[in-house]
Amino acid sequence: MTRLAFLSPDNAAPGVALVSPLQHALGEGVADVSHLGKLELRGPRDAVEPGPGEELLPLSPTRALLVTDGSPARARERLHGDGLRVYDMTAALAACEVEGEDVLRRLTELDLERLPAIGSIARGTPAIIDRREGERFRIFVPQELGHHLVEVILDTLRGLGR
Amino acid sequence: MRLPKQPGERIDRETAVSFRFAGAPVSGFVGDTIGSALYAGGRRVFSRSFKYHRPRGLLCCSGHCPNCLMTVDGVPNVRVCVEPVREGADVRAQNVLGSLDRDWLSVVDRVGGPFTPVGFYYRTMIRPRRAWPLYERLLRNMAGLGRVPAEHEPRRYDTEHRAVDVLVIGGGRAGRRAAARAAGEGRSVLLVDERGGSDADGYRVLAPARAIGIYEGGLVPIDAGDLLYRVRATRIIVATGSLEQPLVFPGNDLVGVMLPGAVRRLVDEWAIKPGECAVVIGADERGLDVTDQLERAGVEVAAVLDLRASDPRRIAAVGGGGRVRAVEIDSTERLPCDLVVVSGGRQPAYSLLAQAGATVDYQPRKGIFVPTNLPPGIEAAGSAAGAAEESAAPRASYDAGKGDRCFVCVCEDVTEKDLERAVAEGFDSIELAKRYTTVTMGPCQGKLCHVPSIRLLARATGTDEDAIGTTTARPPWAPVELGLLAGRHHEPMKRSPLHFRHEQAGASMMWTGAWRRPFAYGDVEAEVRAVHERLGVIDVSTLGKLVVEGAQAGELLDRLYPNRLSDLAVGRIRYGVPTTDGGRILDDGTVARLHGDLFYVTTTSTGSESVCEWFEWWNAVWGYEAEIVNLTGALAAINLAGPQARNALATLTDADVSNEALKYLDARELAVAGVPCLALRIGFVGELGYELHCPASAAEHLWDALVAAGAAPFGLEPQRILRLEKAHVIIGQDTDSESNLLSAGMPWILKLDKDDFVGRFAAELIRERDLGERLVGFTLPAPTLPAEGAQVVIDGRPAGRVTSARVSQRIGKTIGLAWVPPQLAENGAEIAIRVDGSLARASVTLSPFYDPDGERLRS
């Protein structure tokens, strides 16, 4: 077992209901993917091989975020074995997906052709933005600002007549 | 009445549009502007001037000057000469008392002139001082632009970001050519056009839209009405063309005096006859060529004066009822007319280039300023670059020294005499004269008055235009609605993982920085009592939480904190107060050692990011083998406090939480109600307490379990009373950027027997010198309650200040913290505190007011 067990929501007992930071914010056009496992890796990220259902988002030459839709516990064990320091950020980051370059252009100054990238969204909220298939985008923000972000996204969608 | 169809007209004569002006119906065609439709309907007076309420008519017809500002559908200051007609619009005059044709405030023009020279209010309205608010209200009512309606439907403004290789500003011939060329090179190109237009081969067009500035990093905000584009480009090509310049002569602001572009647009685009009989005066070929349009429109051209061929000393427009009736040239001829077309040459529209960093040089032969030394990535194309045709530099003024009123700046009603007076009073540089007279500071932002004012200043100071120079070019280049700059009203709000639990419990919420936190859930005193007597629970998730991990983590912390942390035993906690290199208190919190090489650091709520950056910054310098990770958002934190805390916790965990197994200042990982937690046994609120840190997504479950176990939620206000009873400081409230460990009464933290640490040198100096002041506790009889910030008064003089004060039911007194002179930092010393205008006697206390030995914390 990796250290800092109290960081990982999946260490909670089976009866514990885990709550998304976006639970009260959601509306049509925004999909909540906050449940995804998110592990911050410190160390040489070139050595990391993402497994099935995993994606590696580089944050700096020595930092990366591994996003997994599988078991964060297994990923933690594996990566720890690779000599990396692993910090479970699953609960730290809210994550959502939205459709449309026009929406993103109103939310962030980041170049949408050069994603994933770290930048600011919705006027100063720090974010990691990744491009999925086509015009679908995945946005990670600090969970304490997740509700705010979804409010801004929904307002932006209204402004675009959606 | 319209002219027969013109070759390039923009109106669709088949589609009529009607709107109302001052309540009366006006009709026009699709393609008209509100201004052109009004002109076609016979209206000649479009506005009243800013200060003197002189009648003003169409001058530029290009959206540059202030002469056509009106209120449209409640929106003030709309330039109706470029505002497209729309069905049912409600158009009204502004800055008038009465009507446009009969404005009672024009009395200022008739009798007020001698009493209202430039800057008169600085001299004549300064006494008595108390009357200034009255003067101000009077001035604001009598002068100015339109009024923002008190009640109106807020418009929606959005912002959009774009990134392109090449941005072309200006959709004229030069701009289009540059855009096509860049697109041909395979670049992504965006062209901005004020007038309109659609996408062309290979490049996108934003129209109608205008660039309002060029900022650092190639950022160009573009005003597209309800949408502000923030465009970043690696190459910016400015093709903003040139600006027709007026001439300075008596009567130059009369209705009927126009620039050639206005005549061209009236005739060519809207098929309107601009007048019956015209005199044309121009210093350039293009200005003089307007005779083509005049003849085509059937306007009689009474005379054409080419200033390149002749150089009259005096030109004067003679008016009646505010409208031009004749022109006199050198007093030898009087030419009756109702239209005077004037052109003082074409000045390159260099403002955006100058904003981007270009220098601007004067060309005496052409009488214009041209941009030079363009910074990298910035280019100029067409006449904006100074490629204007040959023209003569006109005289600064054609008044011939007679002292008649000649307007230099029609926006602000600044005259030639005003500028001369400013120079005589010593405001003889262009920047000073600008601020004193407000020339170039009106809606046109110098488009029509900048060059004429420089010429006049050069003449008045006996120098030349080159020596006078230009004013600093600043955004906005074109008027922009503040709502567009403000954008959507979204205020980032940080919500704790328990935010909705607090709302559901009916907490009154308050802002603390960017966070919303519970002030209290109901009765503050009852919440305090619950903590003292039974069990309370407070959400402290906002605390900063860092992990410092690595073989040299202890050494790193020893250099970051004034106390020693590398000798902390695993599972133990120590209080820490990092200081700046100047020895000032930066933040405070706890440091727990969870493993030999892993420390868990808490910071204040506001300090989480700055402390993390501070640690990272120093470690980048020192290079210790240690990772610093900010876990603030990953973890919720809940403080369970009160005499029943241990018993309640024991019901929710299998772990041994006895006083022997989990002592005061112990840190343990354990599961509480099935939630993995780090339990820190600390006590900010002065009772037996456990701070439980758990994954944010499990916080509601843990909170619910603690409440079900009997804990009463308490908010920030009860917490502030509880911590004050213990004399625990709040960094940033009880301390400021000058406070140090010794003056704040924390000398026990400072370990000068260890190796170097941040702030050591300063701490040693502070120790050797006079402290200046000390932070102490005080009590005074309740219910007297000093305000936070109240003065401490010694011998009738201010000698300190109160930083915190509350009435404590438990202590039975008002308690607080205050900065006082060091000689008063003694138990029982008496100080006076100003409360509601009188002095209250307070007694200094150096130890905590409640449980001074900390027995309850350790119990």
Task: Give the DSSP H/E element, type plus range, for residue A120.
Answer: strand A117-121
Model pLDDT for residues B674-689, shown as the tens digit of each residue: 999 999 999 899 999 9
> From the list B490, B631, B673, which residue is nearest A123 (CB)?
B490
Counting Cβ atoms within 10 Å, is residue B796 exposed (0-12), middle (13-18) or buried (19+)?
exposed
> How far does the CA of residue B619 sit from the closest CA of chain A (Å)?
15
Q: Report pLDDT for A87.
A: 95
Same topology for domains B12-115 and B544-630, yes or no? Answer: no
How close does chain B come to A38, measured CA to CA in Å? 11
Gap from B474 CA to chain A (nearest CA, Å)? 23
Does residue A20 lie within any of the structural domains? Answer: no
Instruction: Give the per-residue pLDDT at A2.
Output: 63
Mean pLDDT of all residues in B30-42: 96
Residue B604 per-residue DSSP state: -
Beta bridge partners of B336: B326
- List Cβ neighbours of A156 (8 Å cut-off, separation of 6 or more): A103, A106, A107, B158
Say how far apart CA B656 and CA B661 lie, in whole Å: 6
Backbone angles phi, psi at B724, to 5 degrees: -70, -35
Asked if residue B573 lies in contact with residue B592, where contact means CB atoms within 8 angstroms, the answer is yes
Closest-CA residue to B637 (of B678, B688, B604, B666):
B678
DSSP at B108: I
Residue B177: what pLDDT? 95
Give me the pLDDT at residue B188, please: 95
Structural domain containing residue A67: 25-159
Residue A115 lies in a domain: yes
Q: Which of A2, A3, A4, A11 to mutate to test the interface with B (most CBs of B within 10 A)?
A: A4
Task: Identify the burial level of B311 via C-beta atoms within 10 angstroms of its C-beta, where 0-12 means exposed, 13-18 middle and 19 or more buried.
Answer: exposed
Task: Supply φ then ψ for residue B419, to 5 degrees.
Answer: -65, -40
Nearest residue to A133 via CA among A105, A102, A100, A94 = A100
Q: Mark yes or no for CB contact A40/B629 under 8 Å.
A: yes
Inter-chain touch A155–B490, beta carbons under 8 Å: yes
End-to-end CA distance of chain A: 47
Q: What is the pLDDT of residue B328?
A: 95
Burial class (CB in 10 A: 0-12, 13-18, 19+), B339: buried
- Indicate whether A77 pLDDT > 90: no
Query: Which one-letter amino acid corresponds to residue B162?
Result: R
pLDDT of residue B750: 92
Residues in B touching A125 (Cβ below 8 Å): 492
- Cβ under 8 Å to A: B residues 514-543: 515
Give the closest residue to B689 by CA, choosing from B578, B815, B543, B854: B854
- Give me the CATH code for the B499-541+634-723 domain, please: 3.30.1360.120
- The CATH code that applies to domain B770-858 is 2.40.30.110
Side-chain-side CA neighbours of B455 within 13 Å: the count stands at 25
What average pLDDT does range B340-369 have in this prediction? 93
Q: Sort B264 into a burial class: Cβ within 10 Å, 0-12 / 13-18 / 19+.
A: buried
Task: Label each residue of B572-583 as H, E or C.
Answer: EEEEECCECCCC
State the nearest Cα–Cα gap between B393 and chain A, in angstroms: 46
Q: Domain of A73: which CATH number?
A: 3.30.1360.120
**Token duo for residue A64:** 């990366």
pLDDT in tens, B119-161: 777 777 778 888 888 888 888 888 778 888 887 777 899 999 9
In this structure, which topology does domain B12-115 adopt according to CATH? Answer: Ubiquitin-like (UB roll) (3.10.20)
**Is A53 within the bounds of a domain?**
yes
Q: What is B244-344+392-468's CATH number?
A: 1.10.10.1100
- B326: enclosing H helix or E strand: strand B323-329
B342 phi/psi in degrees, rounded to 5 = -120, 145
Whether the pLDDT of residue B115 is over 90: the answer is no
The answer to whether position A5 is within a domain reads: no
When divided into structural domains, chain A yields a total of: 1
| Domain B155-239+346-387: top CATH class | alpha beta
- DSSP letter at A86 equals E
| Ranges of H-type helices in B623-738 | 645-650, 699-708, 716-725
Residue B338 binned pLDDT confidence (cut-offs 50, 70, 90): very high
Distance, in angstroms, between A152 CA and closest chain B CA? 7
Confidence of residue B8 (pLDDT cuts 50, 70, 90): confident
Q: Say whether pLDDT at B724 is over 70.
A: yes
Q: Is the per-residue pLDDT at A1 higher than 60?
A: no
Contact B780, B845 (CB under 8 A): no
pLDDT of residue B206: 95
Interatomic CA distance for residues B327 and B393, integer angstroms: 21
Give B389's DSSP letter: P
> What global pTM score does this model have?
0.88
Q: What is the rounded average pLDDT of the residues A82-110?
A: 94
Please name the residue ranges forming H helices in B208-323: 260-264, 285-288, 291-296
Report CA B361 to chain centroid distance, whole Å: 32
**φ/ψ (deg, to 5) at B298:** 80, 20
pLDDT digits (tens, 9 = 90+) for B739-776: 999 999 999 999 999 999 999 999 999 888 876 899 99
Chain B residue closest to A143 (CA)? B633
Q: Kindly state the DSSP code that residue A145 receives in the 8-state scheme.
A: G
Mean pLDDT of B485-494: 90
Total beta-carbon pairs less than 8 A apart between chain A and chain B: 146
B472, B478, B479, B481: CA torsion to nearest 10? -110
Q: Could you tell me the pLDDT band of residue B591, with boundaries at 50, 70 and 90?
A: very high
The distance from CA B390 to its chain's CA centroid, rounded to whole angstroms, is 42
Nearest-angstrom CA–CA distance, B825 and B820: 7
Residue numbers in A near B218 (CB within 8 A): none
Quickly tell me which residue has 């343990």 as its tokens: B668
- Cβ-count burial A100-127 (b if 16+ within 10 Å, e if not): beebbbbbbebebeebbbbeebbeebeb
* Residue from the list B230, B635, B678 with its beta carbon closest to the beta carbon of A109: B230
**Which positions ≥6 away from B373 have C-beta within 8 Å?**
B358, B359
pLDDT for B297 equals 96
Residue type, B146: G
Residue in the structure block whose two tokens are 């200046």 = B772
Average pLDDT over residues A26-43: 94
**Nearest CB partner across the interface for A6, out of B490, B495, B693:** B693
Alpha-carbon span B599 to B594, nearest angstrom: 6
Residues of A in contact with B497 (CB under 8 A): 19, 21, 91, 143-144
C-alpha to C-alpha distance for B563 and B568, rounded to whole angstroms? 11
Q: What is the fold, at CATH topology level, of the domain defined by B544-630?
A: Alpha-Beta Plaits (3.30.70)
Which percentage of chain B shows pLDDT scores above 70? 99
pLDDT of residue A123: 82
For residue B163, give the nearest of A40, A111, A122 by CB distance: A111
Average pLDDT, chain B: 94
Q: Which residues pair with A94 in a beta bridge?
A: A141
| Position B371 pLDDT exceeds 60 | yes
Query: Which of A4, A91, A108 is nearest residue B696 as measured by Cβ atoms?
Result: A91
ipTM: 0.97
Sign of CA pseudo-dihedral A137, A142, A146, A148: negative
Please say if the pLDDT value at position B331 is more than 80. Answer: no
Euclidean distance between the first and the last CA atom of chain B, given in angstroms as a whole number: 97
For B547, residues 6+ apart whose C-beta sits below 8 A from its C-beta are A4, A87, B598, B599, B600, B601, B627, B628, B629, B631
Do B701 and A16 make contact, defined as CB atoms within 8 angstroms? yes
A2-6, B60-64, B640-644: least confident range = A2-6
Is the pLDDT assigned to residue B311 strictly greater than 60?
yes
Q: What are the percentages of helix, strand and coil residues in chain B, rounded to 5?
A: 25, 30, 45
Which residues from chain A sit within 8 angstroms of residue B669, using beta carbons? 5-6
Write down the H helix ranges in B203-268.
260-264
Chain B residues 471-490 with CB within 8 Å of chain A: 487-488, 490
Banded pLDDT at A108 (limits 50, 70, 90) = very high
Taking the CA of residue A70 and the nearest CA in chain B, the distance in Å comes to 18
Q: Establish if A12 belongs to a structural domain.
A: no
Helical packing angle, B416-424 and B430-437, nearest 10°: 120
Cβ atoms of B411 and B442 closer than 8 Å? yes
Separation of alpha carbons A80 and B19, rounded Å: 73
| Per-residue pLDDT tens over the stretch B517-553 | 999 999 999 999 999 999 999 999 999 999 999 999 9
Q: Give a yes or no: residue A7 inside a domain.
A: no
